[in-house]
Amino acid sequence: MIAEIRKILNVFPIDPGFKFIRDDSPNAFAVAESDVPNTRGTVYIGMNLINDEFTQDQFGGVAVAGICAHECGHIFQYDNGYMQSLHGPTAQWIELHADYLAGFYLGRDGSHSRDHVEIFANSLFRKGDFDFNNERHHGTPDQRVAAMREGYGAGQAGTDVRTAAESGASFVRAL
Ligand SMILES: [Zn+2]
C-alpha cells in the first residue's frame, strides 16, 4: 500500500500527509489542513475500509489503490482550485471529479489492466461514495463508474495530469 501511495504521488503533483485511522464505519477522507509536519493537506484512511476491500475480492488491492487515488485526487483539487470551481449545490461534481482522477491514476500507472480496474468500478458502484459520513448527494453509482472509466482512458492515453483534470471537470459537469 505504501508502494501504491508512492506511485500515486508520482502521478499527482501533491505532497499530503497520510494517517491510518480506526474507523467505526468504513471511511476515508481528505482535508486541506496539514496534520503531518512539512506536508500539504492530509489523507485519512480507515483500517476497516481497507480490510473490507481486501475481503470483498481477492484482487481488492486495486480498489484500495483506487480509494487512495480518489482521496489524493481531493488533495489535488484543494491545490488547484477545483474545490471552488466544482462546488455546486451538492458535492457531486467534486466527488465525480475525484473518481475521474482516481481512474486517471490507474490508467496512467499502467500496472492495473482494464479488467482489473473493473474491481474498483464494482467497489465504487457498491458504495456510491467513500465519504460515508456525508449526507450530501454525491452522484449515482453509474455516474461514479462513468467518471472513473473516462479518467482511466485519459490516463492510458498519456494525457498530462493538468489537462486531464480540466477535461475531467468538463466531463463530470455534463454527466
Ligand atoms: Zn471523496
Kindly report which listed range (46-55, 109-118, 156-165) carries the lowest average pLDDT score: 109-118
**pLDDT(136) > 90:** no
> What pLDDT was estimated at residue 57?
80
Q: Average pLDDT, stretch 143-161?
A: 95
> What pLDDT was estimated at residue 58?
80
Ligand 1 center to 131 CA (angstroms): 6
- Helices 92-109 and 114-127, packing angle to 10 deg: 160
Cβ proximity of 125 and 149 under 8 Å:
no
pTM over 0.75: yes
Contacts of 143 (CB under 8 A, 6+ apart): 92, 96, 172, 175
Cβ proximity of 66 and 172 under 8 Å:
no
Ion ligand 1 residue ranges (Cβ < 5 Å): 95, 98, 130-131
> What pLDDT was estimated at residue 116?
84
Tally of structural domains, the chain: 1
The CA dihedral of 79, 85, 86, 88, to the nearest 10 degrees, is 130
More confident call, 134 vs 119: 119
> What pLDDT was estimated at residue 128?
62
* Confidence grade of residue 78 (pLDDT, cut at 50, 70, 90): very high
> Residue 39 phi/psi, 5° resolution?
-130, 175
Ligand 1 center to 96 CA (angstroms): 8
pLDDT in tens, 25-73: 888 999 999 999 999 999 999 999 999 888 888 878 888 999 999 999 9
> What pLDDT was estimated at residue 138?
73
Kindly report which listed range (22-26, 44-48, 138-142) carries the lowest average pLDDT score: 138-142
> What pLDDT was estimated at residue 112?
85
Host domain of residue 10 = 2-174
Ligand 1 center to 70 CA (angstroms): 6
- Neighbour order of strands in the sheet with 42-46: 17-21, 42-46, 28-31
